[in-house]
């Protein structure tokens, strides 16, 4: 089974609203990353949060990490139609040999 | 600078034929990864190269799948005797030396359709 599991699987909101996506994982991690994918093609790296960090911001993105609960959340504030995409979390466990383990993703639709 | 490139962008092949997928990593990136993404799913790790060697082939789903990397640069993923369940997007990523652990840059993928 996949290390990361995103919740919800699909999310539909109006432009201007905030979108929150959650990710749970099973093993210890070195870091956790969030990626965005448009139309099922290449992934764009959004943000990396290390295991000793609890919160990180990048523009309209806010990521939190709770290692005790093995979970992370991605918040997109003031969403735009252009934010419509699939969002994946990926974990990098210690000693993984650089292999990222991805969750199933959240499909976000932002309606104009 | 140029990102990771993959070719072809789309490939349609008949069941039973062999296919080759190519990945050009970012120049100077020593690590290269192949992932597979089935429709509506997350990414599944296939194989990882450090230089020209592949220390981790654990994700290759069957012996019909193989990959090589030459000159520490271009990599080719070969699928022999393709099956319909091989239909997926195949994504390649590369990592820089000294980057953050797990830092990977992805190419646009090759969409493989086996008919």
Model pLDDT for residues B30-71, shown as the tens digit of each residue: 899 999 998 878 889 999 898 888 887 888 999 999 999 988
Cβ of A42 within 8 Å of Cβ of B108? The answer is yes
> What distance in Å separates residue B41's CA from the closest CA in chain A?
5
**How much is the mean pLDDT over chain B?**
91
Instruction: Output the CA–CA distances (angstroms, integers) from residue A65 to A11, A102, B97, in the order listed.
Output: 21, 16, 26
Are A96 and A4 in contact by the 8 Å Cβ rule? The answer is no
Domain residue ranges of chain A, discontinuous segments joined by +:
5-111
Domain at A5-111, CATH homologous superfamily: Immunoglobulins (2.60.40.10)
Interface of A to B at Cβ within 8 Å reads 2, 4, 30-31, 33, 35, 40-45, 48, 88, 90, 92, 96-105
pLDDT digits (tens, 9 = 90+) for A3-60: 567 888 899 999 999 999 999 998 889 899 999 998 767 888 899 999 999 999 999 9
Q: Cα(B48)–Cα(B33) distance, rounded to whole angstroms?
A: 4
Domain B16-96: which topology?
Immunoglobulin-like (2.60.40)
Q: How many CA atoms lie within 13 A of B101 on its CB side?
A: 15
N-term to C-term CA, chain A: 36
Cβ of B89 within 8 Å of Cβ of A41? The answer is yes
């Amino acid at each position: 089974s996949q290390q990361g599991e995103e919740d919800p699987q699909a999310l539909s909101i109006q432009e201007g609203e905030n979108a929150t996506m959650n990710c749970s994982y099973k093993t210890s991690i070195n870091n956790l990353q969030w990626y965005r994918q448009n139309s099922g093609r290449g992934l764009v790296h959004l943000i990396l949060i290390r295991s000793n960090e609890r919160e990180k911001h990048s523009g309209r993105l806010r990521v939190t990490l709770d290692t005790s609960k093995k979970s992370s959340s991605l918040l997109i504030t003031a969403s735009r139609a252009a934010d419509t995409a699939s969002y994946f979390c990926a974990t990098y466990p210690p000693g993984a040999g650089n292999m990222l383990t991805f969750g199933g993703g959240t499909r976000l639709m932002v309606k104009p | 600078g140029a990102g990771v490139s993959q070719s072809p962008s789309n490939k349609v092949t008949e069941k039973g034929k062999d296919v080759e997928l190519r990945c050009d990593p970012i120049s100077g990136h020593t690590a290269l990864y192949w992932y597979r993404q089935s429709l509506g799913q997350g990414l599944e790790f296939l194989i990882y190269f450090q230089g020209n060697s592949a220390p981790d082939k654990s994700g290759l789903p069957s012996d019909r799948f193989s990959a090589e990397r030459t000159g520490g640069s271009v990599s080719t993923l070969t699928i022999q005797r393709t099956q319909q369940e091989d239909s997926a997007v195949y994504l390649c990523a590369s990592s820089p030396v000294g980057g953050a652990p797990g830092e990977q840059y992805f190419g646009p993928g090759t969409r493989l359709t086996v008919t």
